[in-house]
Amino acid sequence: MLKLNVGLSRKVGEANYGSRGASVHLELEVESTLAADAKTLQERIRSLFRLARSAVDEELTGHASTGSPSANGPSNGHPSSGSSNGATRPAPRPATASQVRAIHAIAGRLSLDLTGELRSRYGVGYPEQLSITQASELIDALKAQPAGNGSHR
């Protein structure tokens, strides 16, 4: 079997320098024969991204359920999708999509248990729940680790 793993994050700004974000990660197992059929494989991947995009859009337009672990709320570690971190409650800005992508890339390279690392360091389950500063710290910390030194999956 092949595993397709796609992720999508998006942030929207709000008034008074507020913002909110949502992200979704999808994993799908497909027949390994698809590896030889690049066109169909690509279409499956596109389809997953379309699904992810639709879910994120829905989340950000306010149709999502509260407490989804995939959403960035106003405070790190306390997801609350669809809520705003506007003027009345300034909060750390969620990690950028570039940082989230880098964290996944480093964790993959180190064969790291990213969820465990995030829980032990910051008490969150997803890199999207980190602030920009926390994400920068984590990236620096992970980059300093030699390959194979992490908690393996």
Partner 1 sequence: MIASCSEPAASAVPLTGRDYLSFTSLSTYRRCPLAWRFRYVDHLPEDRIRSSLAFGGAIHAAIEHWFRGTLAGELEPGVDELLEAFWAAWHDRQEEAQIDYAQGENASTIHSLASRVLEAFVASGIARPAGTVIGVEEELRGPVIPGVPNLLVRVDLLVETDERLIVVDFKTAKCRWGPTSAEEQAEQLLLYATLAKRLVPEKSLQLQYVVLTKAKSPAVQVVTVPADAQRIDRTLRAARNVWQAMQAGHVYPVPSPACRWCPFRRPCQNWRG
Q: Which residues bind partner 1 (CB under 8 A)?
A: 10-15, 17-19, 90, 93, 96-99, 101-102, 105-106, 109, 132, 135-136, 139-140, 142-143
13/69 with CB nearer partner 1: 13
CB of 16 to partner 1, least distance (A): 9
107/124 with CB nearer partner 1: 107
CB of 32 to partner 1, least distance (A): 26
11/117 with CB nearer partner 1: 11
The closest of 141, 3, 125 to 69, measured between CA atoms, is 125
What is d(CA 86, CA 59) in angstroms, rounded to the nearest whole number? 17
The closest of 104, 10, 125, 6 to 56, measured between CA atoms, is 10
CB of 68 to partner 1, least distance (A): 20
The one-letter code for the residue type at 31 is: E
What is d(CA 23, CA 10) in angstroms, rounded to the nearest whole number? 6
CB of 1 to partner 1, least distance (A): 27
The secondary structure of 21-59 as a DSSP string is EEEEEEEEEE-GGGGG-HHHHHHHHHHHHHHHHHHHHHH
35/141 with CB nearer partner 1: 141
